[in-house]
Structure 1
């Protein structure tokens, strides 16, 4: 089991430019895109603000990283329509494996750390963090 935390890049700018109703529409569109990009047994949950958590099932770290990157790329390629306008968003994600015996708090903390490292290093990326807290950008 893997946990992917996804955060909309520059979401405040969306609200400030187009208003909170558009911001809400962006969050709904993102939730729908997450549902479309994942398997039926991999749920996504809004985690507050503009963050979402997705529980991914994968055989290994490499497969999980492929899934995380695929999700990020699908979101970046998606156009959100509101009225006559279209808007594109990107997200930054933190991905980690949930190890047996770990608390949920610890797993979320690690994924959140990876996501923030992605924000600091340029946004629009998926970062993987292992149990030893080594963080790397997912690239294939």
Structure 2
């Protein structure tokens, strides 16, 4: 079996220009294929003109309520704070077992023009493989 058979990529925050305020990503369900045991957040940037863009990872039991930050002890690495020096950069953060749903959140401050940021989750280690693609 290949990596393709054991991994899914899901968009939480489609690439968008982040300006002052909060961008909440969409919920990503870890429950597919009987449950995906591994997860990693991939943050990619385009041009970051200004501002500070703090990325966090939240989880929820139902995907719509009760969103809370994933504890730092469950992360491999740390969620980035993106600044102008991070044009064209990719950040990766491993995530231990959490509640079923994940989302990325970007909180931007001090921006006039902001910056382009996208957040995707790689889900892996399914209980049943190969993974079903939809």
TM normalised by structure 1 equals 0.39
Instruction: Using CA pairs under 8 Å that are at least 6 residues apart, name the structure with larger relative contact order, 1 or 2.
Output: 2
Larger % of strand: which?
2
TM normalised by structure 2 equals 0.41
Larger % of helix: which?
1
